[in-house]
Amino acid sequence: MDFVLSKKHEMARTLFREFAENEAKPLAQETDEEEKFPKETVEKMAKSGFLGIPVPKEYGGQGCDPLTYVMCVEELSKVCGTTGVIVSAHTSLCVDPIQTYGTPAQKEKYLPDLASGKKLGAFGLTEPGAGTDAQGQQTKAVLDEATNEWVLNGSKCFITNGKEADVYIVIAVTGKIEKRGRMMKEISAFIVEKGTPGFTFGTKEKKMGIRGSSTYELIFTDCRIPKDNLLGQKGKGFNIAMHTLDGGRIGIAAQALGIAEGALEATVAYVKERKQFGRSIAQFQNTQFQLADMATKVEAAKMLVYKAAMKKAEYQTNPKISYSEEAAMAKLYAAEVAMEVTTKAVQLHGGYGYIREYDVERMMRDAKITEIYEGTSEVQRMVISANLLK
Amino acid sequence: MELTNEQIAEYKGVYVYAQQVDNEISGIAFELLGKAKELAANLDTDVTAVLIGSGVKGLADSLAEYGADKVIVVDDPELKDYRTEPYTHALASVINEYKPDIMLVGATAIGRDLGPRVSARVQTGLTADCTVLEIGDFPLNPIPNQEQKHNQLLMTRPAFGGNTIATIACPNNRPQMATVRPGVMQKIAPISGAKAEVIEFNPGFTPDSKYVEILEVVKSVKETVDIQAAKILVSGGRGVGSEENFKLLRDLADAIGGEVSCSRAVVENGWLSQDHQVGQTGKTVRPNVYFAIGISGAIQHVAGMEESDVIIAINKDEDAPIFDVADYGIVGDLNKIVPQLTEAIKAEIANK
Amino acid sequence: MKIVVCVKQVPDTKGGVEFNPDGTLNRAAMLTIMNPDDKAGLEAALRLKDQYGAEVTVVTMGLPKAEDVLREALAMGADKGILVTDRVLGGADTWATSTTLAGALRNLDYDLVITGRQAIDGDTAQVGPQIAEHLGLPVISYAEEIVAVDDKTITVKRQYEDRYHILKAQLPCLLTALAELNEPRYMTPGGIFDAVDAEITVWGRADLKDIDDGNLGLKGSPTKIAKASDKVRKGAGEKVSPESPDEAVSYIMDKLVTKHII
C-alpha cells in the first residue's frame, strides 16, 4: 500500500489547482447565476490538454492515467461543479467508449479531435421512459441496406454537454433477440455527429445545480448515419453502456469529492473569520466537531475515488478484471459525502450560507446531482450488492 | 575584481548620472544631486554630474543650480536617443577616465537598463532601487580579523515586494554604484546663477553589433499619472464598485490636492489604467496621506503603500486587513462618507 | 533557431506572505514558483518555437531543488533543462550570478537569450543586462512585444516611461521580458509526465567556461550585505465604527486638521 502521490501526480495537481483558481473560480458564480456554459474555460482547458488526459499520445492525448484525470475533475469541481462535469462527461462517456470499443478507423477519426478538445463529446442513454433500465429504451436504429445507413428515431433526455458537444455516443434498439426463452431488446451503440440531418435538440433543462452545464434533449427524426458509425458489435450496446457508466461514475465521484472539498475549504476559512459573541465561531466546539466529521468523510471519499481510479488503470493492462464495484462504491460514498458536507457547510455559514454570494450555497445545489446522475445512489447500492451476492 | 586599498584611494568624488530625455533633464537627476551634495559634504569631496546626449551642453547650468560642482558632458550624434550600448560606452568611459568613488543613477526605465550594463563593464557592484543612502563603516560593527572600512556608501533598499530591507555596501570595488528610486531623495532649492566647471569628454563612438537600431519612437498619447510624485493619494479598490463611482474619489482628490490611485482589482476590472496601480505589481508609493477607500488590503497592495506617513482607510467590512495597517480606520459606507468628506474639505479650505 | 531562457525559482508571494509572530517573514511556509517575468520570457520563447520552430533550453542557477522550475518549464514545452548548482556559487549577488550564468551560456549555442526583467525576491533587474555585457551581446531590456524575427535580427517593442521604442537588434541578442509581454501557457498533464521522467543536465563549477573563481559566489560578489531585516509590520492604528456619515466625516476632518494636512 502506498498512500503517497508520485511526483507526476503532485505536479499535475498543482497544475489543475492553479488552472481552477485562475480560470474557473472567477467565473463560477456567473456560470451558475446566468446558466451560462463556460465556453472560454473549455477552450482554455482544451489548449492545456485537459480534454484528453487519459488518451494515448498516438491519438493526440496526454497519455496520462485515470488518476490524473480524476484529479483534474476533482480540482475543477472544488471551485465549479459545472466545469468539472463538462470534463467528466466528455472524457468518461464519449472519449472512453470510443477508445475502448472503437475500430482503428473510428479511433483515428474521432479521438484526435476529442483529445485535443477541438470537439466536445456527450453520451445519450437516458430517455424519458428509461433511465438506467436499458430495456426500457425506445430509440430505434434500423439499417437501410440500400444506402448502408442506420436510421435513428427517438429521443434522449437530460444529456450533459447536450447542445455544446460535437460527437455523441447514442444507445438505441436495433432489434429483438431471444434470451433464456424471453424476447429481449437488442441494444447497440452508435457515434452520431452534430449537424447530421434529422438530429436536433429539444428544450434546455432548467436545473437546481450545475446550472452552467448544457443539459438538453436530443431528438432523432429519420436521422441517417453511416453504417460504420456502429460502435462495437451490434447487440453489445447494453454492455458498452454499462461499462462506460462504470468509468463515468469515477468521474462523477471525483466531481462529488471536489465539491465536498471546496465546501470544506470555504467553511474552514469562514469560521475563522466570522465572529459571534466576541469570538470566532471556529472556537466553538460544535464548529470544531462538525469540521472534524466533514474532513474525515472527505478523506475517506478521496481514498475510495483514488482507489477506483487505480483499479481502472489496472484494468487497462488487464481487461479481465472489473472496476465496477469500486466505481459504484466511490460514487455512492463521495456523492453522499458531498451532500452531507455541503449541507453542513451551509449550516456553519448561518444566514450567509443561504445567500447566493457565498459559494457554499451553490455547492450544496451542485452536490445533489451527484447522488442522481450516472446511476442514483440506489442503483450504486444495487451494483455493489449484486457483486456481493453473485 | 577586488581592488587594493591603494587602488581604491584613487577613486574620488560623488558622481550623478544626469538623465535627460529629449534634451530635458529628468527630475530624478536633480533629486540625485541633492543627495550627492549631502554625501559629498560627509566625504569632504565634490559633486560631478555626467550629462550624456546630443546637443546637451546647454543643460549644464541647470545642473549647477541644483548642486553640481562639475559637469562632464559627453556630446555625440550617436547619443541622440537613449540606446543601451552608446550610453554604456559613454558612462563607463567617464568612470574609467575620472574614477569616481560613488556613482548614482536614477532607478528609472533608462537607469535600470544603463546601470547594470555599466557596472558589469567597469567590474563593480550595483545596488538597485535604493531608498536610503548614507556614509558609514563596513562592517557596521568591528569584526575580529576583518578590516573595518570607513567612509563607505551604505545603500539601503527594500526587497521582496517591500517585505524585507537590506543595507548593502561595496567595500572592495569602485565606484560604489547605486540606482535610486525616483521620488525618494530631496532636491535642493535651486541656486540661480550657480555655475559649474564644464568638462567635455568624448571617448569616440564606433557602432558595432551591440548597437541597436531604433526603428521608431512613439510617445504615448495616453496621459500618464505619476502617483509616486503625489503627496496625497486617494486610492480605491474593488469596493468602489464601478468605473463611474471613481468620480467620488476624483472629486475628493481634487478638493484636497491629490491624485487618484488604485489596487490591482481596479486595473483588472478596467476602471483605471495600470499606471494608477499601487502594490507589488504596481508602484510603491509613500505619500504624506494615503486614503484607502474600499480596499481590502491584500498583502500585495499593502507592500506598495505601507510606508505612507498617514493611512486613512474607509471600508464597510470591519475585518478588512487594511485596518491592520491604517492609522485611522473608519468602518462605513464609502458612498455616503466620501462625498460628504469632499464637501467638508472644500468648506474648510474656503474658510482659511 | 536556438533560444536559451534563464529562469529563477522564487518564493511565492501571491498566495499571501506568511509572517512569524514577531512580524518577520516566514520563508519556510512559502511555496516556490517560477519567477513571473521569467515565465513570460519562457512563454515568448515557446511562442517563437510554435511559430518558427526553435530549440528552447532553460537554464537556472540555484539549489538542487531549483530543478523543479526546470521540470515546470519542460512541462510547458521547453526542450532541455540545465541546472547550475554548486556550493561555491552560494551567496552570489547580481554580478556573481551573471558571471556564473554567462559561464554556463558559453557552453551553449544560441541565437537568442531571454531572461525575465527582474525576480520578485530581489527586484534588481540587473542579471539580464549583466549577462549580455559578459557575453558581448546587444541587450533589449523590458521587452513588451516581439514584433518580428528573421535569421539575423529581432525587432522588439520596448516601453519607457512616456514612450516606446521599436528596436531592431542583431542576433545573437539578449532580451529581458516583462510579465506584461504575454500570458504564459499552463503546463500540460502529458508534459508533466514527460518532464518528470526527463533528464536534467546538472553543471557545477567545473563546467563553467572562462570564469575566474574570484567572480563566483559570496566571495566574488562586490556588494556585501551590511544588514538585512524583515520589515516588521506596522501595527494597526485606531479603528472607529461611526453611527452616521456625519460622524465619520467629522472624525476624518479632525485628523486632517490636527495633522496639518489641510
Q: In this prediction, what percent of chain A has a pLDDT beyond 70?
A: 99
In chain B, what residues touch C122 (CB-CB under 8 Å)?
Answer: 128, 159-160
Does residue A66 surpass a pLDDT of 80? yes
Does residue B9 surpass a pLDDT of 90? yes
Q: Please indicate whether, in this complex, the C-beta atoms of A18 and C195 are within 8 angstroms of each other.
A: no
In chain A, what residues touch C71 (CB-CB under 8 Å)?
Answer: 11
Check: complex ipTM more than 0.90: yes
Does residue C8 surpass a pLDDT of 60? yes
**From CA B30, how far away is CA B310, in angstroms rounded?**
27
Q: What is the pLDDT of residue C209?
A: 96
A-C contacts (CB, under 8 Å): 50
- Nearest CA to C6 out of C181, C131, C149, C96 is that of C131
* B197-200/A275-276 β-pairing: unpaired
Residues 6+ positions from C93 with CB-CB distance below 8 Å: B125, C221, C222, C223
Q: Please indicate whether, in this complex, the C-beta atoms of C133 and B117 are within 8 angstroms of each other.
A: yes
Q: What is the pLDDT of residue B268?
A: 80
| Residue from the list B120, B136, B217 with its beta carbon closest to the beta carbon of C163 | B217
Name the band, by pLDDT with cuts 50, 70 and 90, for residue B288: confident
Crossing angle between the packed helical segments C67-76 and C189-197, to the nearest 10 degrees:
130
Chain C contact for A49, CB < 8 A?
Answer: yes
Task: Find, in chain A, the residue whose alpha carbon is nearest to that of C188.
Answer: A48
Q: Which pTM does this prediction carry? A: 0.86
Residue A320 sits at φ, ψ, to 5 deg, of -75, -25
Chain B contact for C101, CB < 8 A?
Answer: no
Which residue numbers of A are catalytic? Answer: 374
Residue C14 sits at φ, ψ, to 5 deg, of -70, -40
| Residue from the list B169, B215, B330 with its beta carbon closest to the beta carbon of C168 | B215
Q: Please indicate whether, in this complex, the C-beta atoms of B332 and C242 are within 8 angstroms of each other.
A: yes
Angle of CA points C237, C243, C248, to nearest 5°: 50
In chain B, what residues touch C234 (CB-CB under 8 Å)?
Answer: 306, 325
Does residue B50 surpass a pLDDT of 60? yes
**From CA C41, how far away is CA C36, in angstroms rounded?**
9
| Residue from the list B129, B323, B341 with its beta carbon closest to the beta carbon of C236 | B323
**From CA B194, how far away is CA B181, in angstroms rounded?**
26
B-C contacts (CB, under 8 Å): 268
| Residue A32 Cα, gap to closest chain C Cα (Å) | 25
Q: Please indicate whether, in this complex, the C-beta atoms of A47 and C185 are within 8 angstroms of each other.
A: yes
pLDDT in tens, C161-190: 778 899 999 999 999 998 878 999 999 999
Chain B contact for C134, CB < 8 A?
Answer: yes
Does residue A271 surpass a pLDDT of 60? yes
Does residue A244 surpass a pLDDT of 70? yes
Cell of B184: 525618494
**From CA C194, how far away is CA C117, in angstroms rounded?**
29
| Residue A56 Cα, gap to closest chain C Cα (Å) | 10
pLDDT in tens, C206-248: 999 999 999 999 899 999 988 887 766 566 788 888 888 999 9
| Residue from the list A18, A47, A53 with its beta carbon closest to the beta carbon of C189 | A53
What phi-psi label fits residue A28: left (phi over 0), alpha (psi between -120 and 50 degrees) or beta? alpha
Does residue C16 surpass a pLDDT of 70? no
Check residue B293 and report its DSSP letter: E
Does residue B161 surpass a pLDDT of 70? no
pLDDT in tens, C41-65: 999 999 999 999 999 999 999 999 9
Q: What is the pLDDT of residue C2?
A: 97
Task: Find, in chain C, the residue whose alpha carbon is nearest to that of A20.
Answer: C186
Which residue did the predictor score with more confidence, A128 or B203?
B203
Q: What is the pLDDT of residue C18?
A: 65
Q: Please indicate whether, in this complex, the C-beta atoms of B336 and C245 are within 8 angstroms of each other.
A: yes
Chain A contact for C195, CB < 8 A?
Answer: yes
Sign (positive or negative) of CA dihedral B254, B256, B261, B263:
negative
Q: Which residues of A345-378 are buried (b: 16+ CB within 10 A; e: fewer)?
A: bbebbeeebeeeebbbbbbbbbbbbbbbbbbbbe
**From CA C225, how far away is CA B170, in angstroms rounded?**
9
Q: Peptide bond preceding B139: is omega within 30 degrees of 0, i.e. cis? A: yes
Q: Which chains touch B (3 or more CB pairs under 8 A)?
A: C
Q: What is the pLDDT of residue B41?
A: 96
In chain B, what residues touch C97 (CB-CB under 8 Å)?
Answer: none
Q: In this prediction, what percent of chain C has a pLDDT beyond 90?
A: 69
- Nearest CA to B338 out of C262, C253, C240 is that of C253
Does residue B285 surpass a pLDDT of 90? no
What is the arithmetic mean of pLDDT over B273-294?
A: 86
Cell of B264: 490591482
Does residue A307 surpass a pLDDT of 70? yes
Check residue A59 and report its DSSP letter: G
Name the band, by pLDDT with cuts 50, 70 and 90, for residue C14: low
Q: Write down the mean pLDDT value for chain A.
A: 95
Q: Please indicate whether, in this complex, the C-beta atoms of A12 and C192 are within 8 angstroms of each other.
A: yes
**From CA B141, how far away is CA B325, in angstroms rounded?**
33
Q: Please indicate whether, in this complex, the C-beta atoms of B168 and C155 are within 8 angstroms of each other.
A: no
Does residue B163 surpass a pLDDT of 80? no
CB B283 within 8 A of CB B304: yes
- In order, the DSSP letters of B173-195 are SSSEEEEE-TTTSPPPPP-TT--
Does residue C251 surpass a pLDDT of 60? yes
Q: Please indicate whether, in this complex, the C-beta atoms of C179 and B289 are within 8 angstroms of each other.
A: no
Q: Please indicate whether, in this complex, the C-beta atoms of A11 and C192 are within 8 angstroms of each other.
A: yes
**From CA A385, how far away is CA A376, in angstroms rounded?**
14
Cell numbers 456560470 correspond to A31
Q: What is the pLDDT of residue A329?
A: 98
| Residue B197 Cα, gap to closest chain C Cα (Å) | 31
Q: Please indicate whether, in this complex, the C-beta atoms of A64 and C193 are within 8 angstroms of each other.
A: yes
Q: Please indicate whether, in this complex, the C-beta atoms of B345 and C256 are within 8 angstroms of each other.
A: yes
Beta bridge partners of A275: A280
Does residue A72 surpass a pLDDT of 60? yes
| Residue B157 Cα, gap to closest chain C Cα (Å) | 10
| Residue from the list C155, C231, C236 with its beta carbon closest to the beta carbon of B165 | C231
| Residue A248 Cα, gap to closest chain C Cα (Å) | 20
| Residue B85 Cα, gap to closest chain C Cα (Å) | 7
Does residue B42 surpass a pLDDT of 70? yes
Cell numbers 450533459 correspond to A160
Task: Find, in chain A, the residue whose alpha carbon is nearest to that of C33.
Answer: A14
Alpha-carbon distance values, A65 to A89, A292, B50, B154, B195 (Å)? 17, 31, 64, 57, 77
| Residue from the list C215, C240, C249 with its beta carbon closest to the beta carbon of B344 | C249
Q: Please indicate whether, in this complex, the C-beta atoms of C252 and B330 are within 8 angstroms of each other.
A: yes
**From CA A139, how far away is CA A130, in angstroms rounded?**
10
pLDDT in tens, B98-114: 999 999 999 998 999 99
**3-state secondary structure string across B121-159:** HCCCCEEEEECEEEEEEECCCCCCCCCCEEEEEEEEEEE
Lowest mean pLDDT, pick from A7-21, A227-241, B159-173, B257-271: B159-173
Does residue A274 surpass a pLDDT of 80? yes
Does residue A28 surpass a pLDDT of 90? yes
pLDDT in tens, A121-154: 999 999 988 776 777 899 999 999 999 999 999 9
Q: Please indicate whether, in this complex, the C-beta atoms of A62 and C189 are within 8 angstroms of each other.
A: yes
Which amino acid, residue C209?
K
Chain C contact for A63, CB < 8 A?
Answer: yes
What is the arithmetic mean of pLDDT over B201-205?
A: 97
Does residue B224 surpass a pLDDT of 70? no
Q: In this prediction, what percent of chain C has a pLDDT beyond 70?
A: 92
Burial class (CB in 10 A: 0-12, 13-18, 19+), A163: middle
Task: Find, in chain C, the residue whose alpha carbon is nearest to that of B275.
Answer: C161
Does residue C15 surpass a pLDDT of 60? no
| Residue A53 Cα, gap to closest chain C Cα (Å) | 7
Which of C126, C142, C243, C257 has the highest number of chain B CBs within 10 A, making it the mutation to test binding with B? C126
